[in-house]
């Protein structure tokens, strides 16, 4: 139910204006593979293990175990796409350019 004071308003736009975002999203999705997800999760788990209070005593008694976790390298490296960090002006629809500029200034 919409009221006059509602924050939400319908946004009118042309679907063609979002083509740039669609291509960009597809590029980003190509980098998100099962292997990349597995490697990221493995990295998180290793970090949690190394920081665990319960395991700290074990690692003090067995420093070699901690070294193995720290120096274990992933088999697959995720390629960071620096160009995906920012959205270029030519992709932003005309109707959103003013909003995007004011948001960018506030960061």
pLDDT in tens, 27-36: 888 888 888 8
Predicted pLDDT at 98: 75
pLDDT at 11 over 80: no
Global pTM exceeds 0.85: no
pLDDT in tens, 55-78: 788 878 888 887 887 776 665 666
Task: Please report, for the chain, how many H helices and E strands are present, in that order.
Answer: 5, 0
């Amino acid at each position: 139910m919409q009221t006059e004071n509602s924050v939400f308003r319908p946004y009118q736009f042309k679907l063609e204006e979002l083509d740039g975002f669609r291509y960009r999203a597809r590029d980003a999705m190509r980098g998100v593979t099962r292997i990349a997800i597995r490697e990221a999760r493995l990295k998180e788990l290793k970090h949690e293990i190394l920081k665990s209070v319960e395991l700290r005593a074990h690692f003090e008694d067995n420093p070699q175990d901690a070294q193995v976790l720290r120096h274990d390298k992933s088999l697959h490296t995720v390629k960071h796409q620096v160009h995906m960090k920012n959205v270029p002006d030519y992709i932003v629809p005309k109707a959103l350019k003013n909003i995007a500029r004011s948001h960018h200034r506030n960061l």
